[in-house]
A and B are shown apart, each in its own frame.
Chain A
Amino acid sequence: MNTIELPVRPDVSAFVARVRELLADLSEEDRLELTEGLEADLTDQVAEQGGGVLDDPETYARELRAAGGFEPAGRRSPRLRRPMTATEALDDLRARWEGLVTHPRVAPGWRVLVALRPAWWVLRAWAAAVVVARLVPGWYPYGLTWLPGVDAALGLVILVVCIIGSTLVGLGKVWPGGSAGVLARTVLLLLNVTAVVAVPVINEQLDRLSWDRYSQGYDEARWNGNEEGLVNRGAQVCNIAAYDASGQPLAGVQLFDQAGRPLAVDCWEQQARKVPWMLGDVARWNVFPLGERDRPARTERRREDLTGAAFPTPDRATTPEVTHPLVPEEAETDDEVEPERTRVDRSERKDGQRDGRQRDGDREKSGREDDRMP
């Protein structure tokens, strides 16, 4: 406080003290700003015009407060301040906000934001449109990425309606915009705050959604691509090299799955290079190994030309001998143990040595088929 070498008149200091008291609801800083130098001003004034000005500190304080841009005092005594009504609270909030945005450091930025207001109307309309689209029953998976869940046309209609509505509210032509009522102001404030919060939330959801969509598409692509084929350890099976229990390679092994369906080993990109086995004039693709051409044959004519076609060389000539866990090792002879599958019909051997062997599959019928299915 700014006193004094020479005494201020006591009536002046009493007056100033009373004025300060009447401004007690303001912050210390504001109060100091309003009343600093008041003694000096009043001393001058009293010296010039007499003490009449000191009669009414209440009016003086009120005038000071109003001209200083502060809210009128709640009631005479700040200690008896009643709780603010909703309107006052809104006014208060608004005044604080205005105070903030008219601050010289903030004002230039705020002016830019004010100019961008229509953009905000569109943005909040979009947020509303996303919410409305979610309220539409059902989920349409192929809509707009940024307005998901509904058909694109419907989404656009919703968006346009929301933009028009938001703009009319923004222009104050449609409730709750432009209304001075407490309810309207509260609703508008809540809606705007909700929109501010909703925009990043929606953005994140859309992000997640597009990732889901991507990985779903990826999975679909993976499975669609192999829907008709056979996958082993993540790679497509294009041919099968079969060996018998003693480790000798087999040719003409017909393979079926547990339901009796021919094993569908067709890598589509390699189909043109493969030569299927024949049942009459029907190509059988479940008989292995499949012959391979040295160059792809994509036409009927070229498919008939089998020059250069041969069985592929398996990665090993033989494989170690294995024994059957369910059959005791009584017979060591090659001809006895033949752990081929029930439905595998050896019509031909690559080396031709073992032609005419008995099928002994029935003996083996022990449900092992599933084990060998990839």
Chain B
Amino acid sequence: MDQTQLLKGVLDLAVLAVVQAEDGYGYDIVRRLRDGGLTEVGEASVYGTLRRLYAAGALTSYVVPSESGPHRKYYGITPIGRDQLARQRSDWQAFSTTLDGILDGPVAATQGASA
């Protein structure tokens, strides 16, 4: 399946997880996502997501001057962002467990349900 389709619902989660690990600027975050395996993630999508999370209060940002080029805009996580991350993480885990159950077939699913 096309990874970009799958990413739509969970890019927030992925970005928050990456930023929580360490503050970063736009392309840095893209790089870390790609290094993590999300090879098809679009930069603009990540930048837009960063902006949206910032507007929602989940991220904070600060500009770091650079001697060798344009200023970089760094993002860090806020308490709201941590809450959101925790919530979405458990949502995701529940969802992926459910989907695993479905993919494993009806027998496994019923066993899972009765357990």
Contacts and interface: CB of A to CB of B under 8 A. Distances in A.
Contact of B27 (A6, A40, A62, A63): A40
Contacts of B55: 33, 69
A45 B43 contact: yes
Contact of A104 (B45, B56, B70, B72): B56
Nearest to A64: B44
B73 A36 contact: yes
Interface of B is mostly: helix
Given A33-B54, A45-B27, A67 B72 contact: no
Contacts, number: 103
B88 to A, nearest CB: 14
A68 B51 CA distance: 6
Interface of A: 2-6, 8, 33-34, 36-45, 53, 59-69, 102-105
A254 to B, nearest CB: 92
B106 interface: no
A85 to B, nearest CB: 25
Nearest to A12: B70
Interface of B: 11, 25-28, 30, 42-49, 51-52, 54-57, 63, 66-73, 80
Contact of B73 (A2, A61, A68): A2
Given A6-B68, A40-B26, A44-B27, A67 B47 contact: yes
A67 B48 contact: yes
Given A63-B48, A67-B49, A40 B56 contact: no
Contacts of A40: 25-27, 66, 69-73
Contacts of B26: 37-38, 40-41
